[in-house]
Amino acid sequence: MRLIEPDGGEVTLCGVGLLGCGGEQLRAARRQAAMVFQQVLVVRRRTALENVAFGALGELPLRRSLSTRLFPAEIRARALDSLERVGLADLAAQRASTLSGGQAQRVAVARALCQRARVVLADEPVASLDPRAAESVLSLLADVAHNENLGVLVVLHQPELARRFADRLVGFLDGGISFDRAPTDVTDDEIETLYRNDDDER
């Protein structure tokens, strides 16, 4: 997504090479993928609902987005829907700084939904959450993948969680793919191998 520039190779998103484009092209490409991050990245001094609506900023002209009050009604409705989808509609008016880590990460997922992207990329979305919150965020992501016609790609360091929630497991080892199949077809030994040499490598 060009947050960090790669040393080499190619990054393709929905058929568009990200490295060659800039400005408006890059913006358009970025709108195709919504991201959920390792740290819970919400704007703390804005409400949950406003944070969700920020997912749609990319499609708004500047004059309708100078203030959250100028957001079109359609976007507000969509943001509320998204927030409802993650089960937090009753916290819509609350400042993000008052939410728990798990709630805030669900707001981040709602923001991703509000973006109406084609894929959701989640980079260790539960790394900073307690087990129960992790559970709720992952089942939410799985649910979204199954019911919203969205591709969801999640990077995880917890094989047992990956096994439970994913439809397809891809193991990375030393910069290459070591397996790529349904969770039921992946043996414990294969997962073991990924973490044997270096705990920090995927």
Stretch that binds another protein, among 46-54, 76-84, 158-166, 168-176 (CB under 8 A): 46-54
Secondary structure letter of residue 122 according to DSSP: E
Shorter beta-carbon distance to another protein: residue 40 or 194: 40
CA–CA dist 154, 34 (Å, integer):
12
Q: Decide: 119 and 144 in contact? Cβ < 8 Å.
A: no
Give the nearest distance from C-beta 173 to another protein in angstroms. 27
Scanning residues 81 to 100, which ones bind another protein (CB under 8 A)? none
Total residues binding another protein (CB under 8 A):
34
Over the window 98 to 117, marking each residue x when it contacts another protein by CB under 8 A and - when it does not, the resulting string is: ----------x--x---x-x
Stretch that binds another protein, among 23-31, 128-136, 163-171, 181-189 (CB under 8 A): 23-31
Give the nearest distance from C-beta 87 to another protein in angstroms. 21
Alpha helices in the chain, H assignment, sequence order: 23-31, 48-53, 73-85, 101-114, 131-147, 159-165, 188-196
- State whether residue 11 is helix, strand or coil: coil
Q: Decide: 1 and 26 in contact? Cβ < 8 Å.
A: no
Task: Find the binder of another protein among 6, 14, 22, 44 (CB under 8 A).
Answer: 44
Task: Find the binder of another protein among 6, 12, 27, 174 (CB under 8 A).
Answer: 27
Scanning residues 50 to 79, which ones bind another protein (CB under 8 A)? 50, 54-55, 57-60, 62, 65-68
Give Rg (Cα) of the chain.
Answer: 18
- State whether residue 192 is helix, strand or coil: helix
The CA–CA distances, whole Å, from 80 to 47, 51, 93, 195 equal 12, 11, 10, 41
Interface residues toward another protein, by CB under 8 A:
1-3, 27-31, 34-35, 37, 39, 41-46, 50, 54-55, 57-60, 62, 65-68, 108, 111, 115, 117
